[in-house]
Amino acid sequence: RQGCCIVTGASSGLGLAAAKALAETGKWHVIMACRDFLKAERAAKSAGIAKENCTIMHLDLASLDSVRQFVDTFRRSGRALDVLVCNAAVYLPTAKEPTFTAEGFELSVGTNHLGHFLLSRLLLEDMKKSDYPSKRLIIVGSITGNTNTLAGNVPPKANLGDLRGLAGGLNGLNSSAMIDGGEFDGAKAYKDSKVCNMLTMQEFHRRFHEETGITFASLYPGCIATTGLFREHIPLFRLLFPPFQKYITKGFVSEEDAGKRLAQVVSDPSLTKSGVYWSWNKDSASFENQLSQEASDAEKARKVWEVSEKLVGLA
Protein backbone atom coordinates (compact mmCIF):
# COMPACT_ATOMS: atom_id res chain seq x y z
CA ARG A 1 0.00 0.00 0.00
CA GLN A 2 0.91 3.71 -0.25
CA GLY A 3 2.55 5.13 2.86
CA CYS A 4 0.60 7.82 4.67
CA CYS A 5 2.52 10.89 5.76
CA ILE A 6 1.18 13.95 7.60
CA VAL A 7 3.06 17.20 6.87
CA THR A 8 2.19 20.24 8.99
CA GLY A 9 2.43 23.64 7.30
CA ALA A 10 2.33 22.12 3.83
CA SER A 11 0.73 25.24 2.33
CA SER A 12 4.06 26.89 1.51
CA GLY A 13 7.84 26.69 1.51
CA LEU A 14 9.56 23.53 2.70
CA GLY A 15 6.35 21.71 3.66
CA LEU A 16 4.78 22.24 0.25
CA ALA A 17 7.97 21.24 -1.59
CA ALA A 18 8.27 18.08 0.51
CA ALA A 19 4.59 17.21 -0.01
CA LYS A 20 5.12 17.58 -3.75
CA ALA A 21 8.30 15.47 -3.75
CA LEU A 22 6.56 12.69 -1.78
CA ALA A 23 3.28 12.73 -3.71
CA GLU A 24 5.11 12.65 -7.05
CA THR A 25 6.64 9.26 -6.27
CA GLY A 26 3.16 7.74 -6.09
CA LYS A 27 4.32 5.84 -3.01
CA TRP A 28 2.86 8.34 -0.56
CA HIS A 29 -0.48 9.78 0.34
CA VAL A 30 0.25 13.14 1.94
CA ILE A 31 -2.05 14.67 4.53
CA MET A 32 -1.45 18.41 4.24
CA ALA A 33 -2.19 19.72 7.75
CA CYS A 34 -2.76 23.44 7.27
CA ARG A 35 -4.35 26.40 9.04
CA ASP A 36 -5.64 28.02 5.83
CA PHE A 37 -7.63 25.45 3.86
CA LEU A 38 -8.11 27.53 0.72
CA LYS A 39 -4.46 28.57 0.58
CA ALA A 40 -3.42 24.93 0.93
CA GLU A 41 -5.80 23.88 -1.81
CA ARG A 42 -4.46 26.54 -4.19
CA ALA A 43 -0.86 25.70 -3.27
CA ALA A 44 -1.39 21.97 -3.91
CA LYS A 45 -2.98 22.76 -7.25
CA SER A 46 -0.27 25.14 -8.43
CA ALA A 47 2.45 22.72 -7.29
CA GLY A 48 0.75 20.07 -9.43
CA ILE A 49 0.12 17.63 -6.57
CA ALA A 50 -2.38 15.04 -7.85
CA LYS A 51 -5.66 15.02 -5.91
CA GLU A 52 -5.55 11.28 -5.34
CA ASN A 53 -2.17 11.59 -3.60
CA CYS A 54 -3.13 14.22 -1.03
CA THR A 55 -5.80 15.23 1.46
CA ILE A 56 -5.97 18.67 3.02
CA MET A 57 -7.03 18.73 6.68
CA HIS A 58 -7.42 21.78 8.85
CA LEU A 59 -4.89 22.23 11.65
CA ASP A 60 -4.10 25.41 13.55
CA LEU A 61 -1.13 24.68 15.80
CA ALA A 62 -1.77 27.90 17.69
CA SER A 63 -4.85 26.27 19.26
CA LEU A 64 -4.67 23.06 21.27
CA ASP A 65 -8.39 22.46 20.61
CA SER A 66 -7.63 22.56 16.91
CA VAL A 67 -4.78 20.07 17.40
CA ARG A 68 -7.14 17.65 19.16
CA GLN A 69 -9.81 18.18 16.52
CA PHE A 70 -7.29 17.46 13.78
CA VAL A 71 -6.32 14.18 15.45
CA ASP A 72 -10.02 13.19 15.62
CA THR A 73 -10.56 14.07 11.97
CA PHE A 74 -7.50 12.10 10.96
CA ARG A 75 -8.66 9.07 12.96
CA ARG A 76 -12.10 9.22 11.36
CA SER A 77 -10.44 9.11 7.92
CA GLY A 78 -9.58 5.49 8.67
CA ARG A 79 -6.02 5.83 7.36
CA ALA A 80 -3.02 4.32 9.10
CA LEU A 81 -0.31 6.81 10.06
CA ASP A 82 3.19 5.89 8.95
CA VAL A 83 5.15 9.15 9.07
CA LEU A 84 4.52 12.47 10.81
CA VAL A 85 6.48 15.56 9.77
CA CYS A 86 6.32 18.52 12.17
CA ASN A 87 7.32 21.30 9.79
CA ALA A 88 5.10 24.37 10.33
CA ALA A 89 6.60 27.38 12.06
CA VAL A 90 6.21 31.10 12.60
CA TYR A 91 9.10 33.54 12.87
CA LEU A 92 8.44 37.05 14.18
CA PRO A 93 11.82 38.79 14.21
CA THR A 94 10.54 42.37 14.11
CA ALA A 95 7.72 42.02 16.67
CA LYS A 96 8.11 44.52 19.50
CA GLU A 97 5.47 42.91 21.69
CA PRO A 98 4.60 39.24 22.11
CA THR A 99 1.44 37.79 20.57
CA PHE A 100 -0.26 34.68 21.92
CA THR A 101 -1.92 31.40 20.99
CA ALA A 102 -5.54 30.54 21.87
CA GLU A 103 -4.35 29.21 25.24
CA GLY A 104 -2.20 32.28 25.86
CA PHE A 105 1.28 30.93 25.10
CA GLU A 106 3.75 33.21 23.31
CA LEU A 107 3.04 32.54 19.61
CA SER A 108 6.41 31.24 18.32
CA VAL A 109 7.03 28.70 21.07
CA GLY A 110 3.28 28.00 21.34
CA THR A 111 3.00 27.14 17.63
CA ASN A 112 6.40 25.71 16.76
CA HIS A 113 6.94 23.69 19.93
CA LEU A 114 3.81 23.26 22.10
CA GLY A 115 1.33 22.69 19.24
CA HIS A 116 3.64 20.11 17.68
CA PHE A 117 4.39 18.56 21.07
CA LEU A 118 0.70 17.80 21.67
CA LEU A 119 0.19 16.71 18.07
CA SER A 120 3.08 14.26 18.06
CA ARG A 121 2.28 12.86 21.50
CA LEU A 122 -1.30 12.11 20.44
CA LEU A 123 -0.37 10.73 17.03
CA LEU A 124 2.35 8.50 18.45
CA GLU A 125 -0.49 6.14 19.44
CA ASP A 126 -1.66 5.99 15.83
CA MET A 127 1.86 5.37 14.53
CA LYS A 128 2.30 2.52 16.99
CA LYS A 129 -0.68 0.77 15.37
CA SER A 130 0.60 1.06 11.80
CA ASP A 131 2.22 -2.01 10.22
CA TYR A 132 4.43 0.09 7.93
CA PRO A 133 8.00 -1.25 7.95
CA SER A 134 9.78 2.09 8.45
CA LYS A 135 7.75 4.46 10.62
CA ARG A 136 9.22 7.90 11.28
CA LEU A 137 8.50 11.01 13.31
CA ILE A 138 10.40 13.99 11.96
CA ILE A 139 10.68 17.42 13.54
CA VAL A 140 12.23 20.16 11.40
CA GLY A 141 15.05 21.82 13.34
CA SER A 142 17.27 24.73 12.47
CA ILE A 143 20.85 25.80 12.54
CA THR A 144 19.75 29.07 14.13
CA GLY A 145 18.85 27.33 17.36
CA ASN A 146 22.21 25.61 17.36
CA THR A 147 24.90 27.72 19.03
CA ASN A 148 27.78 25.51 17.89
CA THR A 149 27.43 26.98 14.39
CA LEU A 150 28.24 30.37 12.92
CA ALA A 151 24.57 31.13 12.15
CA GLY A 152 23.58 30.01 15.63
CA ASN A 153 25.91 32.57 17.12
CA VAL A 154 24.31 35.60 15.54
CA PRO A 155 22.67 37.42 18.46
CA PRO A 156 20.21 37.02 20.05
CA LYS A 157 21.33 33.47 20.76
CA ALA A 158 18.99 30.66 21.76
CA ASN A 159 19.04 29.99 25.49
CA LEU A 160 16.34 28.23 27.49
CA GLY A 161 17.89 29.11 30.86
CA ASP A 162 16.18 27.36 33.76
CA LEU A 163 12.82 27.26 31.88
CA ARG A 164 11.16 29.60 34.38
CA GLY A 165 9.09 31.39 31.70
CA LEU A 166 7.95 28.13 30.14
CA ALA A 167 7.03 26.70 33.54
CA GLY A 168 5.02 29.87 34.19
CA GLY A 169 3.02 29.40 30.98
CA LEU A 170 4.72 31.97 28.67
CA ASN A 171 1.72 34.24 29.04
CA GLY A 172 3.37 37.61 29.53
CA LEU A 173 1.16 38.27 32.58
CA ASN A 174 2.34 36.46 35.67
CA SER A 175 5.23 34.93 33.73
CA SER A 176 7.58 36.11 31.04
CA ALA A 177 6.66 35.39 27.40
CA MET A 178 10.17 33.96 26.97
CA ILE A 179 11.25 30.46 28.01
CA ASP A 180 14.23 31.75 30.02
CA GLY A 181 12.13 34.38 31.77
CA GLY A 182 13.79 37.31 29.96
CA GLU A 183 12.54 40.30 27.95
CA PHE A 184 10.50 39.48 24.83
CA ASP A 185 12.59 39.09 21.68
CA GLY A 186 10.84 37.59 18.65
CA ALA A 187 13.99 36.32 16.93
CA LYS A 188 15.18 34.62 20.12
CA ALA A 189 11.72 33.11 20.76
CA TYR A 190 11.95 31.40 17.33
CA LYS A 191 15.43 30.06 18.04
CA ASP A 192 14.35 28.85 21.47
CA SER A 193 11.38 27.07 19.87
CA LYS A 194 13.75 25.29 17.48
CA VAL A 195 15.95 24.15 20.39
CA CYS A 196 12.75 22.73 21.96
CA ASN A 197 12.01 20.94 18.68
CA MET A 198 15.44 19.30 18.67
CA LEU A 199 15.28 18.40 22.37
CA THR A 200 11.81 16.91 21.87
CA MET A 201 13.01 14.71 19.01
CA GLN A 202 15.81 13.30 21.18
CA GLU A 203 13.54 12.76 24.18
CA PHE A 204 11.10 10.87 21.93
CA HIS A 205 14.02 8.75 20.81
CA ARG A 206 15.08 7.95 24.38
CA ARG A 207 11.57 7.19 25.57
CA PHE A 208 10.04 5.40 22.60
CA HIS A 209 12.52 4.18 20.00
CA GLU A 210 13.28 0.80 21.52
CA GLU A 211 9.70 0.05 22.43
CA THR A 212 8.12 1.16 19.13
CA GLY A 213 10.87 0.84 16.50
CA ILE A 214 9.85 4.29 15.24
CA THR A 215 12.69 6.43 13.84
CA PHE A 216 12.81 9.87 15.45
CA ALA A 217 14.82 12.43 13.50
CA SER A 218 15.40 16.13 13.01
CA LEU A 219 17.06 17.98 10.17
CA TYR A 220 18.45 21.27 9.01
CA PRO A 221 17.62 21.35 5.28
CA GLY A 222 19.87 24.37 4.53
CA CYS A 223 18.97 28.03 4.30
CA ILE A 224 15.81 28.28 2.18
CA ALA A 225 16.08 32.05 2.02
CA THR A 226 13.08 32.51 -0.29
CA THR A 227 10.27 31.03 1.85
CA GLY A 228 7.42 32.78 3.61
CA LEU A 229 9.25 32.32 6.92
CA PHE A 230 10.85 35.71 6.38
CA ARG A 231 7.58 37.46 5.49
CA GLU A 232 7.60 39.45 8.75
CA HIS A 233 11.12 40.74 8.16
CA ILE A 234 11.93 44.26 6.94
CA PRO A 235 11.87 44.64 3.11
CA LEU A 236 15.63 45.31 2.83
CA PHE A 237 16.38 42.07 4.64
CA ARG A 238 14.05 40.13 2.35
CA LEU A 239 15.78 41.66 -0.68
CA LEU A 240 19.35 40.97 0.43
CA PHE A 241 19.02 37.71 2.36
CA PRO A 242 18.70 35.28 -0.62
CA PRO A 243 21.77 36.62 -2.54
CA PHE A 244 23.72 36.84 0.74
CA GLN A 245 23.03 33.17 1.42
CA LYS A 246 23.70 32.23 -2.20
CA TYR A 247 27.01 34.00 -2.75
CA ILE A 248 28.50 34.75 0.69
CA THR A 249 27.60 31.94 3.10
CA LYS A 250 26.82 29.48 0.27
CA GLY A 251 24.28 27.88 2.59
CA PHE A 252 21.42 28.68 0.18
CA VAL A 253 19.17 25.87 -0.95
CA SER A 254 16.14 26.17 -3.24
CA GLU A 255 12.69 25.27 -1.93
CA GLU A 256 12.56 22.37 -4.38
CA ASP A 257 15.89 20.89 -3.24
CA ALA A 258 15.09 21.42 0.44
CA GLY A 259 11.78 19.62 -0.16
CA LYS A 260 13.68 16.70 -1.65
CA ARG A 261 15.93 16.59 1.42
CA LEU A 262 12.95 16.44 3.74
CA ALA A 263 11.36 13.77 1.53
CA GLN A 264 14.60 11.81 1.84
CA VAL A 265 14.35 11.86 5.65
CA VAL A 266 10.75 10.61 5.27
CA SER A 267 11.41 7.71 2.96
CA ASP A 268 15.06 7.00 2.10
CA PRO A 269 15.87 3.44 3.23
CA SER A 270 19.37 4.57 4.27
CA LEU A 271 18.12 7.25 6.69
CA THR A 272 16.48 5.01 9.28
CA LYS A 273 18.79 5.77 12.20
CA SER A 274 16.89 7.23 15.15
CA GLY A 275 17.90 10.19 17.32
CA VAL A 276 19.79 11.86 14.47
CA TYR A 277 19.93 15.49 13.32
CA TRP A 278 20.52 15.34 9.55
CA SER A 279 22.30 17.97 7.49
CA TRP A 280 23.65 18.10 3.93
CA ASN A 281 27.14 19.00 2.73
CA LYS A 282 28.14 21.09 -0.32
CA ASP A 283 27.66 18.07 -2.60
CA SER A 284 24.15 17.60 -1.23
CA ALA A 285 25.08 14.39 0.60
CA SER A 286 23.36 13.80 3.94
CA PHE A 287 25.40 13.43 7.13
CA GLU A 288 24.70 13.15 10.87
CA ASN A 289 25.30 16.59 12.28
CA GLN A 290 26.30 17.55 15.83
CA LEU A 291 23.89 19.52 17.97
CA SER A 292 24.95 22.36 20.26
CA GLN A 293 25.49 21.62 23.93
CA GLU A 294 22.10 23.00 24.94
CA ALA A 295 20.27 21.27 22.08
CA SER A 296 21.71 17.90 23.15
CA ASP A 297 21.37 18.34 26.92
CA ALA A 298 19.44 15.22 28.06
CA GLU A 299 18.49 16.70 31.42
CA LYS A 300 17.07 19.82 29.75
CA ALA A 301 15.21 17.64 27.23
CA ARG A 302 13.53 15.78 30.08
CA LYS A 303 12.55 19.03 31.80
CA VAL A 304 11.19 20.61 28.60
CA TRP A 305 9.18 17.40 28.04
CA GLU A 306 7.70 17.41 31.54
CA VAL A 307 6.85 21.11 31.61
CA SER A 308 5.36 20.89 28.10
CA GLU A 309 3.19 17.93 29.15
CA LYS A 310 1.66 20.07 31.87
CA LEU A 311 1.09 23.06 29.57
CA VAL A 312 -0.72 21.04 26.90
CA GLY A 313 -2.80 19.10 29.42
CA LEU A 314 -1.16 15.68 29.13
CA ALA A 315 0.02 15.53 32.73
Q: Which residue among 4, 5, 6, 9 contacts ligand NDP (CB under 6 A)?
A: 9
According to DSSP, the residues that pair with 278 across neighbouring strands are 219, 288
Give residue 265's identity as a one-letter amino acid code. V
Q: Which residue among 1, 27, 39, 250 contacts ligand NDP (CB under 6 A)?
A: 39
* Burial environment of residue 236 by CB neighbours within 10 A (0 to 12, 13 to 18, 19 or more): exposed
According to DSSP, the residues that pair with 223 across neighbouring strands are 252
Q: Which residue among 229, 266, 271, 301 contacts ligand NDP (CB under 6 A)?
A: 229
According to DSSP, the residues that pair with 288 across neighbouring strands are 278
The nearer residue to ligand NDP, 181 or 191, going by C-beta atoms, is 191
- Least distance to ligand NDP, CB of residue 284, Å: 16
The reply to whether 292 sits near ligand NDP by the rule CB under 6 A is no
Which one of the spans 4-12, 153-161, 170-178, 204-212 is the region binding ligand NDP (CB under 6 A)? 4-12
Contacts of 70 (CB under 8 A, 6+ apart): 33, 57, 58, 59, 119
Contacts of 10 (CB under 8 A, 6+ apart): 16, 18, 19, 30, 32, 33, 34, 40, 43, 44, 87
Which one of the spans 85-93, 157-165, 199-207, 290-298 is the region binding ligand NDP (CB under 6 A)? 85-93
Query: Rounded to 5 degrees, what are φ and ψ at 239?
Result: -75, -45
Q: Are 216 and 204 in contact (CB under 8 A)?
A: yes
Window 193-212: residues binding ligand NDP (CB under 6 A):
194
The reply to whether 118 sits near ligand NDP by the rule CB under 6 A is no
Which one of the spans 124-132, 173-181, 223-231, 295-303 is the region binding ligand NDP (CB under 6 A)? 223-231
Which one of the spans 29-37, 166-174, 263-271, 298-306 is the region binding ligand NDP (CB under 6 A)? 29-37
Q: Cα–Cα distance between 86 and 127 in angstroms, integer?
A: 14
Cα 58 to Cα 32, 103, 122, 141, 196: the distances in Å are: 8, 18, 16, 23, 24
The nearer residue to ligand NDP, 220 or 305, going by C-beta atoms, is 220
* Residue 60: CA count within 13 A, CB half-sphere: 12
The reply to whether 218 sits near ligand NDP by the rule CB under 6 A is no
The reply to whether 111 sits near ligand NDP by the rule CB under 6 A is yes
Q: Which residue among 36, 232, 297, 309 contacts ligand NDP (CB under 6 A)?
A: 36
- Least distance to ligand NDP, CB of residue 125, Å: 21
Window 127-156: residues binding ligand NDP (CB under 6 A):
140, 142
The reply to whether 87 sits near ligand NDP by the rule CB under 6 A is yes
Cα 99 to Cα 91, 108, 111: the distances in Å are: 12, 9, 11
Which one of the spans 92-100, 157-165, 225-233, 282-290 is the region binding ligand NDP (CB under 6 A)? 225-233
- Least distance to ligand NDP, CB of residue 133, Å: 27
Q: Cα–Cα distance between 107 and 200 in angstroms, integer?
A: 18
Cα 50 to Cα 22, 24, 44, 62, 87: the distances in Å are: 11, 8, 8, 29, 21
Q: Which residue among 15, 165, 172, 181 contacts ligand NDP (CB under 6 A)?
A: 15
Which one of the spans 55-63, 126-134, 205-213, 279-287 is the region binding ligand NDP (CB under 6 A)? 55-63
The reply to whether 95 sits near ligand NDP by the rule CB under 6 A is no
Q: Which residues bind ligand NDP (CB under 6 A)?
A: 8-9, 11-15, 34-36, 39, 59-62, 87-90, 111, 140, 142, 194, 220, 223-225, 227-229
